[in-house]
Structure 1
Amino acid sequence: MNKLNKGLFGLSGKAKESLIQKALEKRSARAAENDAAEAPRRSAFGTRKSVSDDLCRFDKLPGYKELLVQKLAADELKIDNPFFRLHDGIASATSVVNGQACINFSSYNYLDLSGHPRISGAAKAAIDQYGTSVSASRPVSGERPVQRDLEQALARIHGTDDAVVFVSGHATNVTSIGYLFGPKDLVLHDSLIHNSVLQGIQLSGAFRLSFPHNDWQALEQLLEQRRHEFERVLIVVEGIYSMDGDHPDLPRFIELKKRHKAFLMVDEAHSVGVMGARGHGIAEHYGIAGDEVDIWMGTLSKSLSGCGGYIAGEQALIDHLKFSAPGFLYSVGIPAPMAAASLEAIRVMEEEPDRVSRLCERSRYFLERAREAGLDTGRSAGYSVVPILCGSSIKAVRLSNMLLKRGINVQPIVYPAVEEKLARLRFFISCAHTEEQIDATVQAIVEAQHQI
């Protein structure tokens, strides 16, 4: 029960235990009745060491209890569930949520390319030519030209030899880190790194250490103290951090990885399409050559309007992953329609660089207006992601629901995804947002905060 004693939803440990008890009393009573009914049958098979029924019940799992606390607390406080809202149509700067037209800030459609006629047309043409699935892993089912065309385009964006595409962004990190590193290795990661990286490290069996967010000096100290204890060392950072909207001083991390003979991996899920004049990411932003970073990772589901993830790097890395990484070798290949959509998104992004510049302008505008209004935007640097810190999960959820009634859709981020005191609304900006929409949104936040 230790995890339940943290600040979830602003409730005390005693209050949470009470909520859980109420929910489980009826279930326990039903379980007791079932046990009584089963007792005669069990006695016929003799006496064995008893195994608790809790070990074969999903409602007794610790994770389920945490979910139960959130649901019961919301019911007790009469707070509507802000998650899994129903969208009817393309979600970009606007959307239709639960039948209501809204300004939308809950989509990674940064460049307004999901739903673009050229991209939808490319996906439809690929369906006609290849169908909806390649039906097996690529070593088994073979290649489709559009899959390789996409990988070569991604390699060009990152300035690397080649790239390999996986069917899931999360699985890309899990299988790549999990396969490439092992128990004799060390992985050093930013304290705010994505869950997929943590899962990959756990799978690898490597020793794991985190360093304070974006603190290259702290990383340097760790490398000086611990590098000699391990064979290979991997440093992992993100291009843009999706919770906070800031980015690392990449040249500093490159210098450290060279000096200490380590690998450097950059997760560009939220920075491709956002940073750099052409949307080529954090390397373009800093004017860094692609081979200065060992492993580039990215996703296709955000600026590139598809689904899946990828690794870009030197040929030896890509060949190794394509022929041996379990998440590629034993998983179905990316469907041709998704590959075609992302490939066409790259083409449109590069042909229309004003989408990237407009996104940056709108993001900075949102950040400036929010700060002028006295809103706490945390660490945001004004690149596509702007959080509004609320101070508690309850406030974040209530504010999200109040804004929805005003025609503004934005999701709350609550404990345990972030610390309770750092609960927030997370605004994803699109190049399609207008200054008028942003002005109206900031004003609505200020007014709604006074009503909480």
Structure 2
Amino acid sequence: MTESSTNKLLNGDACHRTSNGRKSSKNGFVKNHCSLQLPQNYSRPREKNQNGTHNSSLYKKPFLESFEETPLLVAVFTYMSYGILTIFGYFRDFLRNWNIEKCNMAQEREEQKDFVPLYQDFENFYNRNLYIRIRDTWNIPVCCPPGATMDLGERLTFDYNWTFKYTGKVMKGIINIGSYNYLGFAENTGACNIADVATTQKYGVGVSSTRCEMGNLDIHGELETLVARFLGVESAMTFGMGFATNSMNIPALTGKGCLILSDELNHASLVLGARLSGSTIRVFKHNNMQSLEKLLRDAIVHGQPRTHRPWKKILILVEGIYSMEGSIVRLPEVIALKKRYKAYLYLDEAHSIGALGPNGRGVVDYFGLDPKDVDIMMGTFTKSFNGAGGYIGGKKELIDYLRCHSHSALYATSMSPPVAQQIITAMRIIMGEDGTTQGAHRLRQLSENTAYFRRKLNDMGFIIYGNKDSPVVPMMLYMPAKIGAFGREMLKEISA
């Protein structure tokens, strides 16, 4: 089947040379995804369009993302670096095997060799020979609330990062650029802290039961009502763990005879949930609407394998903001395809809720779309709200079904009351229901910080990925030696 001119425009990719002063070779281009002009009659073939045939843009503002390709020289040196480290890793393993060099990694004793191995040598190769070299830049103990600045515990190593000794000193005022505290609610002062303390005194810190038994408190119902109103959906349900919100609810929504179309860069929780469902899984290229439409078209035309029966259900899995790439889902186009092929849409807004849109209501708010166009709206409270757990929002029938069939709801312990109160207070501040403009100020500050940070990194010559409005800013270092050196130099510069 040949592609129409409309389908060829779905990706809207254009390549432009870099503009930050770096010399670009044949692979030194930036891929920009720009706003598209698509006809309003983007509907199922042979269906009568009730809205007319006049042109209308799917995007209300330019949609710009950049993924600069790695310069050839940098790519060559990166592969060489990992190759050299791997060769020396095998050489050092040879020395350890002959007891010439001491190995401090966990390993089986000689009398356990006949049993099933607890530690696979090859699986630990990276930790043993690569990660250990830069381990000192990770897992540094934080000695205060992880706000805009942090206090870190000083530690030293005398055996090349195998073990650490804490000096008792604290490095104060370290700038925090590594957490998902988008709106700055990770603090031990202010309205959230006052409300959390009062809730702890009233309910305690836990309920020790599931929602369907003895763990259903009035504060949980208050939270779910507020979440539904915040999202603009009929109903919502909350869960105590964000990862389980995906991994335990997707199996309740799809099963054998269903098809899941998953973005290739989806989070591990989405991937696990899709696998546990028993559904057929097909992966489309990241944010590539041509790839998604091809899979949808093939699913409609050919049906299930061998029997060719129609799929019971087709579910599209996407994220709002992709946490490793900093890109934003092209939601208007996904919704257009979803409507055209009568599929269902599952949107994971773990990183976009509270961080995108003029009202902080996520990627749907960012694009100015109707929340009803998304069948399952999922998100977590661990980022912008500085809480824990996740939610699913949608039609009342959907939520009522999940209350009876979701393993995360039936078997998991209820959300801690102080955590629920933290989310309620933060959400009301974002919505402006606290009587102040603090929420609007935090959203505006996040947007300004994002634009400033990206602009300055570009001016300094760094290669960064993602959408211009994404608060997730991946900065590429490539070579493994740079990772440790970069972290150590930043810590030295800030603490000096």
Q: What TM-score, normalized by structure 1, do the two folds share?
A: 0.79
Equivalent in 330, 352, 356 of residue 249 of structure 1 = 330
**Distance verdict in 2 for CA 1:100–1:143, change over 3 Å:** same
Measured after TM superposition, the shift of residue 171 of structure 1 is 0.8
Residue 429 of structure 1 aligns with which residue?
A: none
Equivalent in 62, 70, 77 of residue 130 of structure 2 = 70
Give the letter aligned to residue 109 of structure 1. N
**Distance verdict in 2 for CA 1:155–1:20, change over 3 Å:** farther
Equivalent in 198, 202, 207 of residue 125 of structure 1 = 198
Residue 311 of structure 1 aligns with which residue?
A: 392
**Distance verdict in 2 for CA 1:85–1:32, change over 3 Å:** closer
Equivalent in 480, 485, 495 of residue 393 of structure 1 = 480
Does structure 2 retain, via aligned residues, the 8 Å contact 1:234–1:264? Answer: yes
In 2, Cα distance between the equivalents of 1:104 and 1:202? 36
Q: Secondary structure in 2 aligned to 1:280?
A: coil
**Distance verdict in 2 for CA 1:264–1:31, change over 3 Å:** closer
2:217 is equivalent to residue 110 of structure 1 = no
**Equivalences for residues 208-357 of structure 1 within 5 A:** 208-227=281-300, 228-229=303-304, 230-351=311-432, 352-357=439-444
Q: Deviations over 1:283-321 (max 9, x none)?
A: 111111111001111111111111111111111211121
Q: Deviations over 1:231-260 (max 9, x none)?
A: 211111111111122202211101111111
Residue 16 of structure 2 aligns with which residue?
A: none
Measured after TM superposition, the shift of residue 388 of structure 1 is 1.1
Q: Secondary structure in 2 aligned to 1:141?
A: coil
In 2, Cα distance between the equivalents of 1:359 and 1:367? 12
Measured after TM superposition, the shift of residue 120 of structure 1 is 1.2
**Equivalences for residues 435-446 of structure 1 within 5 A:** none
Q: Deviations over 1:91-121 (max 9, x none)?
A: 1211112221211111211111122411111
Q: Secondary structure in 2 aligned to 1:129?
A: helix
Q: Deviations over 1:100-155 (max 9, x none)?
A: 12111112111111224111111111111111101110111142111111111111
Q: Secondary structure in 1 aligned to 2:150?
A: strand
In 1, Cα distance between the equivalents of 2:422 and 2:98? 51
Name the Cα RMSD after superposition: 2.4
In 1, Cα distance between the equivalents of 2:391 and 2:264? 23
Residue 83 of structure 2 aligns with which residue?
A: 11
Equivalent in 43, 52, 60 of residue 120 of structure 2 = 60
**Distance verdict in 2 for CA 1:405–1:163, change over 3 Å:** same
Residue 137 of structure 1 aligns with which residue?
A: 210
In 2, Cα distance between the equivalents of 1:374 and 1:33? 53
Does structure 2 retain, via aligned residues, the 8 Å contact 1:367–1:382? Answer: no
In 2, Cα distance between the equivalents of 1:18 and 1:96? 39
Does structure 2 retain, via aligned residues, the 8 Å contact 1:10–1:394? Answer: no
Measured after TM superposition, the shift of residue 370 of structure 1 is 1.0
Q: Secondary structure in 2 aligned to 1:291?
A: helix
2:160 is equivalent to residue 100 of structure 1 = no
Higher helix share: 1
Does structure 1 retain, via aligned residues, the 8 Å contact 2:108–2:118? Answer: no
Does structure 2 retain, via aligned residues, the 8 Å contact 1:190–1:237? Answer: yes
Does structure 1 retain, via aligned residues, the 8 Å contact 2:230–2:431? Answer: no
**Distance verdict in 2 for CA 1:10–1:258, change over 3 Å:** same
Equivalent in 218, 240, 243 of residue 170 of structure 1 = 243
**Distance verdict in 2 for CA 1:126–1:62, change over 3 Å:** farther
In 2, Cα distance between the equivalents of 1:166 and 1:253? 27
Residue 84 of structure 1 aligns with which residue?
A: 139
Moved more, 377-386 or 260-269: 377-386
In 1, Cα distance between the equivalents of 2:280 and 2:96? 40
Does structure 2 retain, via aligned residues, the 8 Å contact 1:111–1:355? Answer: yes
Q: Secondary structure in 1 aligned to 2:397?
A: helix
Does structure 1 retain, via aligned residues, the 8 Å contact 2:356–2:363? Answer: yes
**Distance verdict in 2 for CA 1:368–1:167, change over 3 Å:** same
Residue 39 of structure 1 aligns with which residue?
A: none
Residue 67 of structure 2 aligns with which residue?
A: none
List runs of 5+ in structure 1 lacking aligned partners.
1-5, 36-51, 409-443, 445-452
Does structure 2 retain, via aligned residues, the 8 Å contact 1:146–1:339? Answer: yes
Does structure 1 retain, via aligned residues, the 8 Å contact 2:314–2:344? Answer: yes
Q: Secondary structure in 1 aligned to 2:119?
A: helix
Q: What TM-score, normalized by structure 2, do the two folds share?
A: 0.72
Measured after TM superposition, the shift of residue 68 of structure 1 is 2.8
Q: Which runs of 4+ in 1 moved over 6 A?
A: 6-9
Taking CA–CA contacts closer than 8 Å with sequence separation of 6 or more, which of the two structures ends up with the larger relative contact order?
Answer: 1
Q: Deviations over 1:389-437 (max 9, x none)?
A: 11233322321222122228xxxxxxxxxxxxxxxxxxxxxxxxxxxxx
Measured after TM superposition, the shift of residue 71 of structure 1 is 4.0
Measured after TM superposition, the shift of residue 62 of structure 1 is 5.1
Measured after TM superposition, the shift of residue 85 of structure 1 is 1.3
Residue 407 of structure 1 aligns with which residue?
A: 494
**Overall identity of the aligned pairs, in %:** 31
Measured after TM superposition, the shift of residue 379 of structure 1 is 2.4
**Equivalences for residues 175-214 of structure 1 within 5 A:** 175-214=248-287
